[in-house]
Homo-oligomer: A and B are copies of this chain.
Amino acid sequence: MMYNPAAPDGRNASLDSAVSPDGQPDAGTTYRVPPRCGVAVRVAAGRSIRVINTHGTQVCDFWAICDGAPHEFLSMAHCHTETGGIMPALGDVMVSNRRRPMLTITSDDSPGVHDRVIASCDWPRYQVLGCTEYHDNCADNFRMALMAIGEAAVHVPDPFNLWMNIPVSPQGRISWEAPVSSAGHSIVMRAETDIIAVMSACPQDLTPVNGDGLAPTELHFRIEG
């Protein structure tokens, strides 16, 4: 069966968690990303998005697509080239797959440990891990968050995994570790073009990426500036 990038493999409350029917936010409102779900929001060029790790060890899979041009998106592999490394840093100008600036990291009060090298969890990943019944997953949350604001995924880009702690050894091996962030830590990214930002509160509860308690929880965010 041909893979359709727009179609989720299952359903969850991401479909009912939109900030508004068209994804336009209210300035100053702090929005919630429910546990195991995704939310999309439009961010106009010049404004910023603050993502808050409410409880301290929750990973946020983060994506940005160009509003009105969905084939152009924040691309980790292009960021590696344009920022000269695989790890993000304060001040990084993160680019699209057309190398246009999309987001600048303007503030980060966490220790700065985020991941840019691994794919979102998805239903096939949970099947690899042994699940036989549908498991919430970040790829589907991306798809459903877009559906909830009237958009469709044309591709599931590789995410910017906020607070995800995936150390890379000198030999290039990776491991899945608990975040080193704390409750209330936040990261602020300024939109350099009109974007749709999508955030998923990662539902991974089989590896410690969301903390050693294996208990995925909520996140919050707001639009500033």
Contacts and interface: CB of A to CB of B under 8 A. Distances in A.
A168 B124 contact: no
Contacts of A171: 85, 87
Given A4-B71, A69-B2, A119-B75, A81 B125 contact: yes
B97 A168 contact: no
B3 A117 contact: no
Interface of A: 2-5, 66, 68-69, 71-72, 75-78, 80-82, 84-87, 97-100, 117-119, 122, 124-125, 127-128, 154-156, 158, 168-174
A119 B125 CA distance: 24
Nearest to A66: B3
Contacts of A169: 85
Given A84-B173, A87-B172, 15 more contacts: A2-B69, A2-B72, A3-B69, A3-B71, A3-B97, A75-B158, A80-B174, A82-B128, A85-B171, A85-B172, A85-B174, A86-B86, A98-B122, A99-B125, A99-B127
Contacts of A125: 81, 99
A76 B170 CA distance: 19
A117 B2 contact: no
A84 B3 contact: no
Can you tell how many copies of this chain the complex includes?
Answer: 2
B81 A119 contact: yes
A85 B174 CA distance: 5
Contact of A158 (B71, B77, B127, B168): B77
A118 B3 contact: no
Contacts of A155: 71, 154-155
Contacts of A85: 168-169, 171-174
Nearest to A76: B77
Given A99-B122, A124-B98, A174-B80, A86 B2 contact: no
Nearest to A9: B98
B118 A80 contact: yes
B84 A174 contact: yes
Select the residue from A72, A98, A100 with max chain B CB neighbours within 10 A: A98
B84 A118 contact: no
A143 to B, nearest CB: 13
